[in-house]
Structure 1
Amino acid sequence: MKPSLRVLSAEELPLGQAFTAQLEVLVDEGVLEKARSDTPVWISSMFSIPKKDGSVRSIINLKPLNRFLKVLHFKMEGLHLVPDVVSVGDYCAKVDITDAYFVVNIKDGFRSFLAFRWGTDTCQFTCLPFGLATAPYIHSKHMRVVAEKLRSSGISLISSLGDWTFFLRANLGGYYAKRASIQAPQSILLVRVAHRRQC
């Protein structure tokens, strides 16, 4: 059931129409929900940053909350691993994962820590938000399970927070459909590795 949220005018919400529109999209997608009135919440502020495509990314300012979190350090995968993964003749595909954090749900009892005011309403995130200090670690741990499953199917890949790079020795379209059940987006970048290069 979608929460009933009042759309604010430009005068009421100085952050701009793009920000308001983004919040409405997040409500429609189930990323945001209306907080229960009988539950105490931790209120944070919201702000937005522009994205390359002209849209905006909404970020909740969790700096005060982050002071209470224990942030574990971990090594992220990256393009520095390419020489160890790629072989001559491989096909390379880079898949950009839109709003990658939103695939990780937040347990009901912890959503009240991820709340903010929107006009007269109080909303909270139902999934991992940008701005949470532990988000990169949590997201990476979840995605590692998926990456290992794909690797066990014979797919070489490098996974990072926002995008995955695949290295395959077959045509990507058929390989995705038969071996990994991955639907490659239309914007997928396909290149042929002509030679191996040391970084």
Structure 2
Amino acid sequence: MTRGLRLEFSSDPPLSLQPPDHILPSKSQLPIIRSFIPDLLSRNIIRIISSPQPLFFSRPFTVEKKDGPFRLILDLSLLNNFLLVPHFKMESVLQIASGIVEPLWGCTLDLQDAYFHVPMAWFFHRYLAFVVDGITYVFQYLPFGLSVAPWAFHRVIKPVKAHLHLQSMRVHSYLDDFLFLSRSREGLLALTTHILDMFDRLHIKVNYKKSSLEPSQTVEYLGVILQLDSMTLCIPHSKVLGIITLCDQLMISSFCS
């Protein structure tokens, strides 16, 4: 992938010189979408297409993240119909928990704009076009919305993890969510410092606001609380309350019907 991610198609997606009306962003989301453009251009995540050429156009839209800010996504559902998606497996919390056989210390790390670490091969920029205010743009890096995005990002991170595992470092990940484990607090601090330095050299950006880098024996990872001192799992209190509320609503709905 040194020259960028190449896409595998079951058949060639149709290209067009003019964007169809249905791919234009909604008026309600247009101000938010506009706000993304300068930053994405300055980081070379997207570029402007100044002259008409055959492209595959998709509709941009935004979704609100759990931590507040919005994320720009392309509605690539039509393009995804043409894509061949390789099968791959990611490590689950249960698999991680089964390997914890002694008290440990842990911390979590989240990456910033994870998919934007994956460049697209130049030829495939044409399939990632969108229009805002009459200007055509294409993504030069992996956008949110592409069905192969999880596989592609996993493929990029896999050799990084393999290198760390060769150094006997306990590093787990599920896409951009990382879990570091060590037998001691001091060992975990050293491991974290080493990995942060390595990520910096590889230009892998860390989301420090969403990361919990302070060593602890109670770590929340992928929606589950790992009690590393007692080697047990539990569900966060907020999720328990959510389940109880949902059950109450279902019981009321069933009773009323």
TM-score, normalising length: structure 2: 0.66
Secondary structure in 2 aligned to 1:43? coil
SS of equivalent to 1:74: coil
Q: 1:72 to 1:178 in 2, by over 3 A?
A: closer
Shift of 1:93: 1.2
Aligned to 2:180: 166
How is 1:5-20 mapped onto 2 (pairs within 5 angstroms)? 13-20=27-34
Map 1:3-42; keep pairs closer than 5 Å. 13-37=27-51, 39-42=53-56
Shift of 1:180: 6.9
For the aligned residues, what is the CA RMSD? 2.4
Q: Deviations over 1:135-178 (max 9, x none)?
A: 11111111111111111111112211131111123423333334
Aligned to 2:155: 141
How many aligned positions are there? 188
Answer yes or no: is 1:177 the counterpart of 2:201.
no
Using a 3 Å threshold, how does the CA distance of structure 1 residues 179 and 125 change in structure 2: closer, same or farther? closer
- CA gap of 1:197–1:104, structure 2 versus 1, over 3 A, is same
Residue among 87, 96, 103 paired with 1:73: 87
1:57 paired residue among 64, 71, 84: 71
Q: Does structure 1 residue 93 correspond to structure 2 residue 93?
A: no
1:110 CA displacement: 0.7
Provide runs of 4+ in structure 1 moved above 4 Å.
none
Aligned to 1:191: 216
Gaps of at least 5 residues in structure 1 are: 1-11
Cα distance in structure 2, aligned partners of 1:14 and 1:164: 35
* 2:41/2:47 contact within 8 Å kept: yes
Q: Normalized per residue, which structure has more helix?
A: 2
Unaligned runs of 5+ in 2: 1-25, 200-205, 218-227, 235-257
Q: Kindly indicate whether the alpha-carbon contact (under 8 Å) linking 2:103 and 2:231 is maintained by their aligned counterparts in 1.
A: no
Output one character per residue of 1:16-48: Cα deviation in whole Å (capped at 9) or x when no partner.
433322233222222111125254211111000
Equivalent pair of 2:106/2:180 in contact (CA under 8 Å): yes
Larger RCO (alpha carbons 8 Å, 6+ apart): 1
Quick one: structure 1 residues 28 and 13, their matched pair in 2 at CA, closer, same or farther if it must change by over 3 Å?
Answer: farther
TM-superposition CA deviations, 1:88-125 (whole Å, max 9, x none): 33221111112211111001111111010011211111
The residue type paired with residue 195 of structure 1 is S
SS in 1 for 2:232: coil
State the identity as a percent: 28
- Give the structure 1 partner of residue 165 of structure 2: 151
Name the CA distance, whole Å, in 2 between partners of 1:89 and 1:166. 14
Matched with 2:61 is 47
